[in-house]
């Protein structure tokens, strides 16, 4: 991404959970699309169904605030958080508690567990919904999820608006587990209602982006924004697509619009930094990365990757002292691997200009001061 020519192992995912905001979060948290059906407004009904058998149930932490009764049947916050993000922890917990059902929210952090359950002979994918994925132990009376017929969808979701939301959000979750054919069928059903065209287009753009079809992603996200300028997901996809298609200046313009509309958070700041880098807007890149580090520290999020990118950006500008200090702080980040630390050390040694090893640098204070980005 920056001046280091060798491939850098720290990925985009280390800085921000996802560049494309999960559509269910946008829609189900409010905004322009407020569902009338209780099954879309809250996962409470879904959770009630899970406990009918009386067996312990594993759920990812997003659902814990909606648990009001029968709490002993559900995992603790610590178990839920660790088990959702580390499949080995989940399997250990399963041996201890013998879960009857599992409900996992979609997202980058839970993807490994979902894949593990899909591949397991012990579990069956029994439901896919806007809330995520339900798995049950393989019993005779449990059926694997199948694409519903259009007639059944109309019966189960009589209100066109709610049916459309259900179809679009479920399709997005199906695409995330490579069920593209099923996802496309649901989106086809959704298009027939002529509701929420911007959301439909941004979902199609999201799927195109996830498959590397960047020209399609750019076209679809632009069409989505034409119908609704406030569609955050569509603008984020458009920025990614413009970058991938070599239109850095246009991507930077869209990143400014994203910041103006959605404020400064980890997602928007990372996109701003990335587009500024591609557009050779050096100081703007440094400013965005510096603020990204500040926001991540404030929210108690990992900062190793963003500090590394910031250090490289400072070095590229010629600010060797601040670059070394920033990379030194990045090196100490606990979430980085040894391979990532070695690459950071190599960069630091290079910045020492052959005088001595970067290991001779004085130790940082316990609370390093914010990076000074003034030119």
The C-alpha atoms of residue 10 and residue 93 are separated, in whole angstroms, by 30
pLDDT (0 to 100) of residue 140 = 65
Q: Output the pLDDT for position 70.
A: 62
Residue 301 pLDDT more than 70?
yes
Residue 87: pLDDT over 50 = yes
> Per-residue pLDDT tens for 273-282?
999 999 999 9
The pLDDT confidence band at residue 366, using thresholds 50, 70 and 90, is: low
What band does 375 get if pLDDT is binned at 50, 70 and 90?
A: very low
Cβ atoms of residues 202 and 232 within 8 Å: no
- The answer to whether residue 2 scores a pLDDT higher than 70 is no
Q: What confidence score (pLDDT) does residue 127 get?
A: 97
* Confidence at 4, pLDDT banded by 50, 70, 90: very low
User: What confidence category does residue 139 fall into, taking pLDDT thresholds of 50, 70 and 90?
Assistant: confident
**Would you say 232 and 205 are in contact if contact means Cβ atoms under 8 Å apart?**
no
Could you report the per-residue pLDDT of 308-364, keeping only the tens digit for each?
Answer: 999 999 999 999 999 999 999 999 999 999 999 999 998 988 888 766 776 667 777
Please say if the pLDDT value at position 187 is more than 90. Answer: yes
pLDDT at 17: 31
Number of Cα atoms under 13 Å in the Cβ half of residue 194: 0
Percent of the chain past pLDDT 90, that is, above it, reads: 75
Give the model's pLDDT for residue 16.
Answer: 28
**Mean pLDDT rounded to a whole number for the chain:** 87
CA 82 to chain centre: 17
Among all chains, which residue has been given the structure tokens 């559900």?
74
Asked whether the CA dihedral 363, 367, 373, 375 is positive or negative, the reply is negative
| pLDDT band, residue 68 (cuts 50/70/90) | confident
Is 12's pLDDT higher than 80? no
The pTM of the full predicted model, rounded to 2 decimals, is 0.83
Instruction: Tell me the pLDDT band of 52, cut-offs 50, 70 and 90.
Output: confident
In whole angstroms, what is the distance from residue 305 CA to residue 318 CA?
A: 20
Which H or E element spans position 348? helix 338-351
> Which secondary-structure segment (H or E) carries 331?
helix 320-331
pLDDT band at 28 (very low <50, low <70, confident <90, very high): very low
Say what the alpha-carbon torsion angle 131, 145, 139, 87 is, to the nearest 10 degrees: -50
Three-state secondary-structure class, residue 144: coil
How far, in Å, CA of 70 to CA of 91, rounded?
23
Average pLDDT over residues 102-120: 95
Residue 302's SS3 state is coil
CB contact at 8 A, 308 and 332: no
Task: Tokens for 269, please give them.
Answer: 């700041």
């Amino acid at each position: 991404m920056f001046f280091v020519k060798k491939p850098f192992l720290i990925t985009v995912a280390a800085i921000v959970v996802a560049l494309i905001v999960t559509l269910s979060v946008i829609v189900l948290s409010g905004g322009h699309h407020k569902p009338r059906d209780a099954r879309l407004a809250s996962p409470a009904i879904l959770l009630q169904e899970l406990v009918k058998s009386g067996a312990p149930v594993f759920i990812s932490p997003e659902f814990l605030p909606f648990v009001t009764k029968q709490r002993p049947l559900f995992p603790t916050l610590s178990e839920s958080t660790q088990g959702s993000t580390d499949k080995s922890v989940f399997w250990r917990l399963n041996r201890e508690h013998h879960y009857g059902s599992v409900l996992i929210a979609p997202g980058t952090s839970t993807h490994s567990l979902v894949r593990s359950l899909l591949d397991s002979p012990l579990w069956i994918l029994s439901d896919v919904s806007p809330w995520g994925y339900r798995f049950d132990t393989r019993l005779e009376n449990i059926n694997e999820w199948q694409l519903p017929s259009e007639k059944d969808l109309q019966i189960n979701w009589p209100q066109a608006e709610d049916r459309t939301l259900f179809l679009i959000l479920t399709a997005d979750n199906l695409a995330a587990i490579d069920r593209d054919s099923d996802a496309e069928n649901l989106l086809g059903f959704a298009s027939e209602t002529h509701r929420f065209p911007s959301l439909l287009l941004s979902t199609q753009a999201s799927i195109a982006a996830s498959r590397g079809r960047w020209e399609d992603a750019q076209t679809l996200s632009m069409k989505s924004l034409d119908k609704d300028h406030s569609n955050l997901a569509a603008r984020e996809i458009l920025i990614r697509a413009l970058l991938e298609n070599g239109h850095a200046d246009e991507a930077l313009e869209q990143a400014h619009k994203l910041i103006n509309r959605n404020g400064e958070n980890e997602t928007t700041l990372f996109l701003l930094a990335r587009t500024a880098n591609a557009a050779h807007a050096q100081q703007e890149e440094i400013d965005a990365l510096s603020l990204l580090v500040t926001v991540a520290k404030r929210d108690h999020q990992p900062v190793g990757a963003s500090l590394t990118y910031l250090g490289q950006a400072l070095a590229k500008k010629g600010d060797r002292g601040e670059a070394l200090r920033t990379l030194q702080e990045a090196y100490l980040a606990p979430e980085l691997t040894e391979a990532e630390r070695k690459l950071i050390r190599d960069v630091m040694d290079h910045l020492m200009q052959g005088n001595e090893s970067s290991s001779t640098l004085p130790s940082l204070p316990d609370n390093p001061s914010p990076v000074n980005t003034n030119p």
